[in-house]
Structure 1
Amino acid sequence: MKRFGQRVAAGLTERNAELPHDVSERLRFAREQALARAARARAARTSVSTARPATVQMGATLALGGGPRGAGKDNGLWPKLVSALPLLALVAGLLLMQRGQVHEQIVAAAEVDTALLSDNLPPSAFSDPGFAEFLRDGQE
């Protein structure tokens, strides 16, 4: 990337002699402004990048319950348990969803059984394979 920039700069410098004076002055002024902005951005990026790791490290350590004493040590079982909480929450949610689906299936079967037992039907209707489907469609 640096080589490309140098080639572009060399090409522009070669053609600089052909430009009128007012255009070359505007380009010079714009170049100075761009260099000043780049220097400010580099300085800001450097100051932010040097200050950020210490802040983030301290924040992460304090959030996990370590504090300044345990900054470089293994804090034992507590951080491991805290990091396992999202996995436990996921497993608990999946188990609750499965339990809800099983409950819905039981309720649907109970409704069909109730409809079958409470209606006056001939015994041949119970052996018809499409009869349960008919009952489900009628209840919705």
Structure 2
Amino acid sequence: MNKPQHSHFDQELDARMARFGLRVAAGLSEQSEQLPADIGERLRFAREQALLKARTARAAQPELQNAPSVVAVGASLAMRGGPADKSPRWLKLASLTPLLLLVLGLLLIQHSQWYQQIQAAAEVDTALLSKPLPPAAYSDPGFREYLNEEQE
């Protein structure tokens, strides 16, 4: 199965962001020893708040993974659902209903036209067999019109 190419770039971007975050955290930790106590206390509180927000973001992240996303497949785009994107079987079957109705409609139209052709041929045969015709009528190009005049 072909994986989208952009997932490699997403992983690389995540890795770079993680390295940057570690470097910033290390630099802040080194400088925090030289800060006054009140500023250190405010930073500790801000760090705890940031960690709390990060935990809630990580907890909400599986919900985002289950959301549908748009991925590049060749030269086109396609919708891809998450692992929990299992639609019910009846929904899949219901999506085939319009196609089934279309096919049934086309078959009904074909049958109707076939029946009309049989009826037209039967009318001509009935007219041929019920009326005495001269032999020249069979070779006449206006034979149908001759039959129509006789019926009127």
Question: What is the TM-score of this pair, normalised by structure 2?
Answer: 0.40
Q: Which has the higher helix share?
A: 1
Higher relative contact order (CA 8 A, sep 6+): 2
